[in-house]
Structure 1
Amino acid sequence: MEQRSSTILSKPDWSFNRSVFKSVGYSDDDLNRPVIGIANSWNELVPGHANLRQVAEHVRKGIYRAGGAVAEFGVIAACDGTAQGHAGMHYILPSRDLIANDIEVMVEAHRLDGIVLLGSCDKIVPGMLMAAARLKIPAIFLPGGPMLGGVTFDGRKSDLTTMSEALGMLKSDKIDATSYEQLEELCGPTCGSCAFYGTANTMCCLAEALGMSLPGAALVPAVYADRLRLGEETGRAIVALVNSRISAEKIITYQSLENAIRVLMATGGSTNAVLHLSAVAAELDIAAATMMAAYDSLSRSTPQIAKVNPASRYDMEDFHRAGGIPRVLQEISSLLHEDCITVTGKTVGQNIETYRFKYPPDTNVITSLDKPFSKQKGLAILRGNLAPATAVTKPAAIAPEMHVFTGSARVFDCEEAAEAAILKGGIKAGDVVVIRYEGPKGGPGMREMYKAMKYLYGMGLAKKTALITDGRFSGTNNGCFVGHISPEAAEGGPLAVVRDGDRITIDIPGGNLQLHLSDQEISTRLELWHRPEPKFTRGYLGIYSKLASSAAEGAVIKL
């Protein structure tokens, strides 16, 4: 069977294309090899991507040594951290679809034989996985690795998000300005994806659980030499996949998605993974309802066996040294589809059997099925009259005493208004902060309520209040929170008619999000409700706000 690239590079009919390649330095020898793309999201703006130029050089080495030719191109990557709390966050989730589309265009326009996907952060990883599922060519995802933890602060190693917690402490006179300024210098000591188990590292871990990354690739820190060796190994592996005709569609299946969900639950990963795995599944025409049912059912039978910041004081380097995803897969192997094929060319089960751990086990970070940290769900799907479709929460990051909480609504129609109220001392114990019109369409872009939660933590209200939204949360958030409420307010969901003082109950064990109003009262309020004007009518956000599906469907662009 001929390579894809040979269909546009064979002599003499395609000599024009050969001349195009030769004009940028390719040789006849190169053009007789499988042409392997490297989709590299390196840039100087995102810490998780700052080392990808160096990693790419080692991937190139591996590809050439294995007999391939390299075609590297750039992919956009925006930083969730920098975008937090302002208009830039509107663009972050929508960028996921742009990334998938960008890679699709480059691969198909140039008939590449295989692709190595280099990325690390929140929307880049799922965007790349969406592209892999869509393109049905051999593909491997390789992250840049997490950063190391910072100076100890508030009883644990700090990370970049510690600054937001510290701002709440500064505003409430719990720390002084000097300590605050020193923390700015010391909380992010290296490049890499953030040192906590947020969405970025969650998605890198789930890519490995899907079988789309080499074993152990998710958690080797960005500054470790092993990260470069993984680059070369990945380069060799993609050529082997091309030669073996093992495409991404054979690796990303419903069964491998179930494996990823198991790992998500077992490790207490980010709530955003629900959006992203659903988006990947949509590329395979797997229904959103099927995925939601899988999250719900698998969460009930998957104990939490790993605890990492924000659920504990241990960071990503600790998670790596404890054995990372290979150790997690080993411990929950009885719950997995071990016959799923992976980018090694071997099955999940075979990878587990042959993996060589470099560090001893650490049961403070990763334990076992018979001695789990919790038998409760790492993530939970809620429903109720306030979330008729679904909502998502993360019990693993919520204090047990807050798993059932009833309070009075304090309603805000945007993120900024809520944050201002929190910092001014306008939220009190017993309040349920409601932030609406932040969903996929209404936001648009489903912004993260990261700062609001961090400010509540810093103000000492994390265990005394709750926050609910049709927006999202960062994987580093803790406290009592519920996001992804569907239908969203902008689509006429019940969240749109909540008023200050209404009573709301979050019942995680019962799987319920309840507004204490009669169905008749909710219906009457909705009849008087008027759909707000869209915030953006031009540019990409204008397109996204019109075409985005609900959070329950992965917030993908839907035609």
Structure 2
Amino acid sequence: MIDKKNLRSANVTEGVEKTPARSLFYAMGYTKEELDRPLIGVISAHSEVVPGHIHLDKIAEAVKAGVRMAGGTPIEIPSIGVCDGIAMGHEGMRYSLPSRELIADSVESMTIAHALDGLVLVPNCDKIVPGMIMGASRINIPTVVCSGGPMLAGNVAGEEVSLSKTFEAVGAYKAGIIDEAQLLDVEENSCPGCGSCAGMYTANSMNCLSEALGIALPGNGTIPAISSRRTQLAKRAGMQIMEMVEKDIKIRDIINPVSIRNALACDMALGCSSNSVLHLLAIANESGIPLDLNMFNEMSEKVPNLCHLAPAGDTHMQDLNAAGGIPAVQNELAKLNLLDLDALTVTGQSVGENIKGITNRNPDTIKPVETPFSKTGGIAILFGNIAQEGCVVKRSAVAKEMLEHKGPARVFDSEEEAIDAIYKGSIVDGDVVVIRYEGPKGGPGMREMLNPTSALAGMKLDKTVALITDGRFSGASRGASIGHVCPEAAAGGNIALIQEGDMIEINIPAYSINVDVSDEELTKRKEAWQPKEPNVKHGWLKRYSMLVDSAAKGAIMKD
């Protein structure tokens, strides 16, 4: 039995002094009986502009039903959310990554201001998942993540497809590989309904990693959005938060160095989006846990890559779910002692207890550890004179022939310049496209470069052309797409000093990336370098650009 007087919500519901606060609750229709129970915030990112969020009103209602069944009072609170696919390729993408900070700030603000006892976070897409987790970690109260689930894959000409197909189709059309009718077929049939886009893009990566961290129930990352099991999961999440409140199990009791390492292992096995690096760094920072880029490579050397979901392969989230989901992946990793099975989870049980009896139902979707896609993990961090602080590549989505590459730099100071050159056919086999001044500070906002990478893939250049940027890539990008170059150009990093035609050498197995220019020449160029005029000179993005830290630290806000 929970003693209400020991809860945070007593600050707004208990005692004569709280008469005004109770009066305002009564104005909303709450009853005395409801105020005598724990108050549970249900933070929902429902909106009518994000396909991953269009149905979250129903998920939130199911969560609230679970809270009530377990003796709590649910209070729904809205959150913003940017659809990266809709924001892609124009100035709207500058707001995507920065919105993570707004979401974290709003979760912190609303939870503390209204003295909530626990949280069920109901996100689904990209920055919304880590943003909510970051906010909850700051205030450190009982928390369960319950996402809206992945979209089913679409079908084009008998082929299972997802959002990445639409971006690549634009490049194929521009190159004359497909006609207008085929382009329209892709447009109308790639995204069949609600849910986070069906590949192992950033949204699904973070929903799976929430499960791997232990802060979401098993199935959170993979049960399809339209499944009745997703509604059942939401009800169980609502019930489970009440157990956590009763036992006073806080989110930072679960997110700790052990669970972060478990999440890193699953990241490598799944071949998650390169954005997972930014978000895990930021979540670790909010949770007071040391984490740096070297730890990603350390884990990558140990953990085999077991999954090739789109865009790395032709399987999708529904296939991963049918194969056993994240518990089946964890069970494979446990065979090599790559997980700490004693780590606590929101089920109230350990990882080991959660995966007991789970089997891999499809070894084609989840490769056994004995026969992985590769012996190394899906993410690699490269270092060199271009990126002294590191840069990130989704190694599992790189063609074998591009793991090592040397070619001339084709230099562009914005995404728009690069995409124009690609569409005009001026990028040829062997080139290394360099897109700079798109970092957290310089962008500002570190735009995703899905348009350029997809154009290259659609034009059949993804196996001959590399792309590097101080911006970042969508989880839907494939090919030798190397992002998060640090220090970024706007901070005077060496990527700002690369000149047209400089030879760039990339060696992903050796974790290295370098421009073939002497230190003396780089020093001379640095002396002549002048900062570029800011792209944004007003609004809150200007403040963001002044306060944001390096991508090597997760693009967090400086203290």
Deviates more, 1:293-302 or 1:482-491: 293-302
* TM-score (norm. length: structure 1): 0.97
Q: Distance in 2 between matches of 1:66 and 1:373?
A: 44
2:217 counterpart of 1:209: no
Q: Does 1:497 align with 2:497?
A: yes
Q: Report the number of matched residues.
A: 553
Work out whether 1:198 is the aligned partner of 2:201.
yes
| In the alignment, structure 1 residue 113 sits paired with structure 2 residue 113 | no
The answer to whether the aligner puts 1:455 opposite 2:459 as a matched pair is no
SS at match of 2:16: coil
Amino acid at match of 1:367: K
| Residue 59 (structure 1) aligned to one of 63, 79, 83 | 63
Partner of 2:95: 91
CA distance in 2, matches of 1:481, 1:524: 29
Distance 2:210 2:485 in 1: 26
Q: Does 1:483 align with 2:487?
A: no
Name the residue aligned to 2:222.
Answer: 219
Deviation per residue, 1:86-113 (Å, 9 max, x gap) = 0000000000010000010000000000
- Give the drift of 1:553: 0.6
The alpha-carbon deviation at position 495 of structure 1 amounts to 0.3
Residue 286 of structure 1: CA displacement? Answer: 3.0
Aligned counterparts of 2:103 and 2:512: Cα–Cα separation in 1: 35
Question: Which residue does 2:550 correspond to in 1?
Answer: 550
Superposed displacement of residue 180, structure 1: 1.1
CA contact (8 A) 2:163 2:476 kept: no
1:299 maps to which residue? 300
* DSSP 3-state at the match of 1:13: helix
On the 8 A contact 2:164/2:311 being kept in 1, the answer is no
Write out aligned runs for 1:157-556 (5 A). Answer: 157-287=160-290, 290-333=291-334, 334-353=337-356, 361-556=361-556
Shift of 1:194: 0.2
Per mean C-alpha deviation after superposition, the further-off stretch among 197-206 and 175-184 is: 175-184
Specify the SS of the correspondent of 2:356: helix
In the TM superposition, residue 133 of structure 1 has moved relative to its aligned partner by: 1.3
**Alpha carbons 2:164, 2:477 under 8 Å: kept:** no
Whole-Å separation in 1 of the counterparts to 2:377 and 2:15:
59
Point out where structure 2 has 5 or more consecutive residues left out of the alignment: none
Structure 1 residues 184-239: Cα deviation after superposition (integer angstroms, max 9, x where no partner): 11111111000111111000000000001001111101111111111111110011
Rounded Cα–Cα distance in structure 2 between residues aligned with 1:182 and 1:377: 35
Q: Cα deviations across residues 301-335 of structure 1 (Å, max 9, x unaligned)?
A: 00011221112111111111111101011111221
Deviations 1:10-29 (A, max 9, x none): 13221111111111011010
Post-superposition offset of 1:161: 2.4
Name the aligned partner's letter for residue 187 of structure 1.
Answer: S
Check the 8 A contact 1:168/1:454 in 2, yes or no: yes
Contact 1:409 1:504 in 2 (8 A): yes
- C-alpha deviation, 1:403, in angstroms: 0.3
Q: Which residue of 1 aligns with 2:143?
A: 139
How far 1:275 moved relative to its partner?
0.4
Alignment partner of 2:392: what SS? strand
Indicate conservation of the 8 Å contact 1:38/1:71, yes or no: yes
Partners of 1:293 and 1:478 lie apart in 2 by: 23
Contact 1:168 1:458 in 2 (8 A): yes
Aligned AA (1:428): V
Q: Which moved more, 1:413-422 or 1:177-186?
A: 177-186
Instruction: Give me the whole-angstrom Cα distance separating, in 2, the residues matched to 1:275 and 1:234.
Output: 27
**C-alpha offsets along residues 126-148 of structure 1, whole Å, 9 cap, x if unaligned?**
10111121111000111101111
CA contact (8 A) 2:156 2:186 kept: no
User: 1:238-297 CA distances to partner (integer Å, 9 max, x unpaired)?
Assistant: 11110110000101111111110000001111111000000001112334xx33221111
Task: Write the distance in 1 (CA, Å) between the matches of 2:372 and 2:535.
Answer: 46
AA of the residue aligned to 1:344:
T
Whichever residue aligns with residue 158 of structure 1, its letter is: V
**Which range moves more in the overlay, 238-247 or 1-10?**
1-10
Cα distance in 1 for residues equivalent to 2:379 and 2:163: 24
SS of residue in 2 equivalent to 1:557:
coil
Instruction: Please state how far the C-alpha of 1:400 moved relative to its aligned partner.
Output: 1.1
Summarize the alignment of residues 33-44 of structure 1 with structure 2, pairs less than 5 Å apart: 33-44=37-48
- How far the C-alpha of 1:557 sits from its partner, in A, is 1.1
> Do the aligned residues in 1 keep the contact of 2:52 with 2:196 (CA within 8 Å)?
yes
Alpha-carbon displacement from aligned partner over 1:346-402 (angstroms, at most 9, x marks no partner): 1111111266x7xx7001110222221210231101100110111111110001111
SS at match of 1:258: helix
Judge conservation of contact 1:534–1:545 (CA < 8 Å) in 2: no
**Quick one: which amino acid aligns to residue 218 of structure 2?**
P
Cα drift, residue 175 of structure 1:
1.1
Q: CA RMSD in A?
A: 1.2
Q: Do the aligned partners of residues 102 and 354 (structure 1) sit closer, same or farther apart at CA in structure 2, a change above 3 Å counting?
A: farther
Q: Distance in 1 between matches of 2:220 and 2:139?
A: 22
Local SS of the residue matching 1:332: helix
Task: State how far apart, in whole Å, the 1-side matches of 2:519 and 2:222 are.
Answer: 48
Distance 1:503 1:172 in 2: 27
Given the two structures, how large is their TM-score scaled by the length of structure 2? Answer: 0.97
- SS, match of residue 82 in structure 2: coil
Q: Which runs of 5+ in 1 are unaligned?
A: none
Q: How does 1:7-46 map onto structure 2 within 5 Å?
A: 7-46=11-50
Give distance in 2, aligned partners of 1:76 and 1:389. Answer: 32
SS of alignment partner, residue 48 of structure 1: coil
Q: Distance in 2 between matches of 1:11 and 1:521?
A: 72
SS in 2 for 1:380: strand
Q: Which amino acid aligns with 1:8?
A: V
Tell me, yes or no, if the aligned pair for 1:34 and 1:68 is still in contact at 8 Å.
Answer: yes
Runs (4 or more) in structure 1 with deviation over 2 Å come to 284-287
> Residues of 2 paired with 1:79 and 1:212: CA distance?
24
Q: Which amino acid aligns with 2:461?
A: L
Task: Tell me the distance in 2 between the aligned counterparts of 1:411 and 1:293.
Answer: 28
Question: How far 1:8 moved relative to its partner?
Answer: 2.2
- Native 8 Å contact 2:100 2:131 kept in 1: yes
User: Which residue among 128, 134, 138 is the counterpart of 1:130?
Assistant: 134
Identity of aligned residues (%): 46
Cα distance in 2 for partners of 1:161, 1:281 equals 29
In the alignment, the residues of structure 2 paired with residue 213 and residue 416 of structure 1 have an alpha-carbon distance, to the nearest angstrom, of 39
The CA deviation at 1:546 is 0.3
